[in-house]
Chains A and B, each alone.
Chain A
Amino acid sequence: MDDTVLLSVLALGGIAIVSAIVLYLVSRKFAIAEDVKIVEIDALLPQANCGGCGKAGCHDFAQACAFVDEKGFAGLYCPVGGQQVMDQIAALRGFAKVEKKPTAAVLRCNGTCQNAPLKVSYDHITSCRIAARISSGQTGCPTGCLRLGDCIKVCKFGALSMNKETGIPIIDHNKCTSCGACVRMCPRGLFEIRPKTENGEMLYVACRNTQKGAIARKNCKAACIACQKCTKVNAEVKVENNLSYIPDTVSAEEFGKALREACPTGAIIYTKEEKNND
């Protein structure tokens, strides 16, 4: 009896030891030597692997940060970790801190159910990218939101959600990390990363329709009709191709309210006003 116990212990123990040695040797043989800097930077990163930095993932970004010079470092930014993480990386590399202004994504379409009524109905179409291929969408606007929510599925931070009443997505600018996943996903290219004011407000033209005013209005009440009224408020606002665009340099705090009021169709959105209305 004693022999059995002893034998089992010896056999199992022997197998364990042999396996351990094999595992150790294998792990040594196939180990990939990695720069300590990469490991350290990688540990600081949020590990969302969103690709918002333009790299394939957090590890790739860490690698870029580890080998870049000070000048190139200014071009790198982790939108998820934000300023704090970038400062830590800068300290690690011994570089000076680089200031980035806060940004968020906006949806450049205001084709809500109220503004842009349906012309046809979708029959079980599941993706915006497919819908864009087979038609100009339910509303007929060839540049408008398709309302199927591919962007919502791709957002890793829960910043996007579908507004049941308007039919178009709403963006929580506090949750948005400017990772740009929605920008790359939207087949209409309706998302844009724009600067936020200190209070978190945004100012933008919620339309991308380049058709002539009359045609654009036929599909959507909130379309930009290139009436030029916004250019009179601030000369930096440009109207090209029947479409107005507000550059980042236009101060939202200063001109936001005036621009919003100047737009006859409601294509210019300044989020501060809307909050007050709620």
Chain B
Amino acid sequence: MTKIKTFPLGGIHPNKYKITTDSPITFAGLPETVYIPVKQHIGAPAKILVKPGDKVKVGTLLADADGIVSADVHSSVSGEVLKVEAIEGEFGYVEDMITIKVEGNEFEPSIDRSLDIDREIPYTDEEIIAKIREAGIVGMGGAGYPTPVKTSIPEGKKVDTLILNGIECEPFLTADDRLMVEKGEQIVIGAKILNKILGIQNAIIAIDENKPKAIEVLSKITKTYVGVNVQVCATKYPQGGEKQLITAITGREVPSGKLPADAGCLVQNVGTVFAIYEAVMKNKPLFERVVTVSGDACSHPANYLVRIGTPASYLLEKAGGITPQTAQVVFGGPMMGTSAFNINAPITKITSGLLLLSDKISAKHHEEDCIRCGKCAEACPMGLQPFLIGRLMRANQIDEVKNCHVLDCIECGCCAYICPAHIPLLDYCKLAKIELKKKK
């Protein structure tokens, strides 16, 4: 095996809690109603095409991408559209959602539902990009950036490396891990598809050390495919951060304020690549995804294949319900996820995990004085000095913060995790960003 790679600056080693590593992906079933938000991505909300009373099938287009940075939204169930209106989302803010009452499980006829693996790619580059666009695929790692925009490389830039992000460095989450173990070959074919449209033969699947099964499965499969290789990375948070991964794999750095393409790289989450495979080879729009339901307060943690729009409460019920020791429900991972305000909010294309955390893990401690230990600066993967940003923001010195490169912060939370004085350093970094943007 080749050398284990990692990024040079900072990083932390939180407790992994990967309790669902060996739990196979199971279908979560169909809830009574689904709520499908029309904005599950970065960019403009999609234009709604349906009205109450319409009958839809699985895969029916519900809303059309509005502009280039936007994504199509498809129905994830068959049934009747009940309402098209603003409903409270996971943060408690209202978002436009399409409510569908589930009746049966009927698919659009164009979707190929067979389980065979199609290995030949008979389409041209344009056809492939059109299929990805029509499937409404967005980055499923968490950011939700529309994939067609990401894969179309700006004029004058050259991408020579495609990196498949199978790191999943967030504690608890195992959705990508299981997907790689169970759908390894499809992911590799997905990588070939991306290789084709990029015109390169250099796809690297990055997996971190603590996923021996996925490494084994994919190493075996990639032997028979040209141009797709596995690279093992060290288990360190935030190894799965786009910039950190690029530096780990290629040794290049993405210049401040620029795109990965400026470093000659394209990074795609393995979940996204699997969706690309399904969209291109099976004509399947993105209407379901793998979600890890876990947490130290969860009684039956598992990995579920979930239809987009399924209320979180339905999934939580399947995993044993909200136990008395639950203090927080978190959408996403414990490091970068958000506390849920409303647990009836739907699972979206970017929800990779649903965590029930007890006070033992999630309770915040009282903020003390900085002892200048420098651990935050040591842990910051971007080489920033969070203690300085925190000190300046406490004094409201926004002009000074400008020189701290705070806009480069990737909000990974290493600083706030490591701080022995429990200073909410990440909050101060976010505040600094808010204030700097206000000034502009």
Chain A contacts to B: CB under 8 angstroms: 119-120, 123-127, 129-130, 133-137, 140, 142, 153-154, 184, 187, 211
Contact of A140 among B341, B365, B366, B424 (CB under 8 A): B341
A211 and B94 within 8 A (CB): yes
- Across the two chains, which residue of chain B brings its CB closest to A134? B338
Given A123-B363, A123-B364, A126-B424, A133 contacting B93 (CB threshold 8 A): no
Bound form: Cα–Cα A135–B19 in Å: 29
CB of B431 within 8 Å of the partner chain = yes
CB of B182 within 8 Å of the partner chain = no
B91 and A135 within 8 A (CB): yes
| B329 → chain A closest CB, angstroms | 10
Given A124-B367, A211-B94, A135 contacting B339 (CB threshold 8 A): yes
9 contacts between A and B (CB under 8 A): A123-B364, A125-B427, A135-B91, A135-B92, A136-B88, A136-B91, A136-B93, A187-B434, A211-B94
Chain A proximity mask over B314-355: 1 for CB below 8 Å, otherwise 0: 000000000000011000000000110100000000000000
Q: For residue A124, which residues in chain B have a CB less than 8 angstroms away from its CB?
A: 364-367, 424
Bound form: Cα–Cα A211–B434 in Å: 26
Bound form: Cα–Cα A30–B364 in Å: 53
Chain A proximity mask over B97-118: 1 for CB below 8 Å, otherwise 0: 0000000000000000000000
B364 and A136 within 8 A (CB): no
Contact of A127 among B93, B341, B427 (CB under 8 A): B427
Given A126-B427, A129-B434, A119 contacting B341 (CB threshold 8 A): yes
Q: For residue B363, which residues in chain A have a CB less than 8 angstroms away from its CB?
A: 123
Bound form: Cα–Cα A35–B434 in Å: 37
Q: For residue A211, which residues in chain B have a CB less than 8 angstroms away from its CB?
A: 94
Q: For residue A126, which residues in chain B have a CB less than 8 angstroms away from its CB?
A: 367, 424, 427
- Across the two chains, which residue of chain B brings its CB closest to A184? B438
Q: For residue B88, which residues in chain A have a CB less than 8 angstroms away from its CB?
A: 136, 140
Bound form: Cα–Cα A50–B354 in Å: 45
B341 and A120 within 8 A (CB): yes
B367 and A142 within 8 A (CB): no
Q: For residue A125, which residues in chain B have a CB less than 8 angstroms away from its CB?
A: 427
B431 and A129 within 8 A (CB): yes
Interface residues on B, range: 20 to 34
CB of B430 within 8 Å of the partner chain = yes
Chain A proximity mask over B345-379: 1 for CB below 8 Å, otherwise 0: 00000000000000000111111000000000000
Contact of B92 among A123, A127, A129, A140 (CB under 8 A): A140
Q: For residue B431, which residues in chain A have a CB less than 8 angstroms away from its CB?
A: 127, 129-130
Which DSSP category, helix, strand, loop or mixed, fits chain A's interface?
A: loop
Bound form: Cα–Cα A187–B438 in Å: 11
Bound form: Cα–Cα A187–B427 in Å: 15
Bound form: Cα–Cα A140–B362 in Å: 22
A137 and B424 within 8 A (CB): no
Q: For residue B339, which residues in chain A have a CB less than 8 angstroms away from its CB?
A: 120, 134-135
Which of B218-234 touch A at CB < 8 Å? none
| B35 → chain A closest CB, angstroms | 16
Q: For residue A142, which residues in chain B have a CB less than 8 angstroms away from its CB?
A: 92-94
Bound form: Cα–Cα A137–B92 in Å: 8
B430 and A133 within 8 A (CB): yes
A134 and B364 within 8 A (CB): no
Given A123-B364, A142-B92, A211-B94, A136 contacting B341 (CB threshold 8 A): yes
| B323 → chain A closest CB, angstroms | 17
Q: For residue A137, which residues in chain B have a CB less than 8 angstroms away from its CB?
A: 92
Q: For residue A130, which residues in chain B have a CB less than 8 angstroms away from its CB?
A: 427, 430-431
- Across the two chains, which residue of chain A brings its CB closest to B435? A129
Question: Nearest 6 pairs between A and B by C-beta?
Answer: A136-B92, A124-B364, A135-B341, A130-B427, A135-B91, A123-B364
- Across the two chains, which residue of chain A brings its CB closest to B87? A215
- Across the two chains, which residue of chain B brings its CB closest to A131? B427
| A264 → chain B closest CB, angstroms | 24
| A129 → chain B closest CB, angstroms | 5
Q: For residue B94, which residues in chain A have a CB less than 8 angstroms away from its CB?
A: 142, 211
Q: For residue A120, which residues in chain B have a CB less than 8 angstroms away from its CB?
A: 339, 341
Bound form: Cα–Cα A18–B130 in Å: 80
| B64 → chain A closest CB, angstroms | 26
Q: For residue B364, which residues in chain A have a CB less than 8 angstroms away from its CB?
A: 123-124
Bound form: Cα–Cα A153–B339 in Å: 26
Bound form: Cα–Cα A187–B435 in Å: 11
Q: For residue A129, which residues in chain B have a CB less than 8 angstroms away from its CB?
A: 431, 434
Bound form: Cα–Cα A142–B367 in Å: 28
Q: For residue A134, which residues in chain B have a CB less than 8 angstroms away from its CB?
A: 91, 338-339
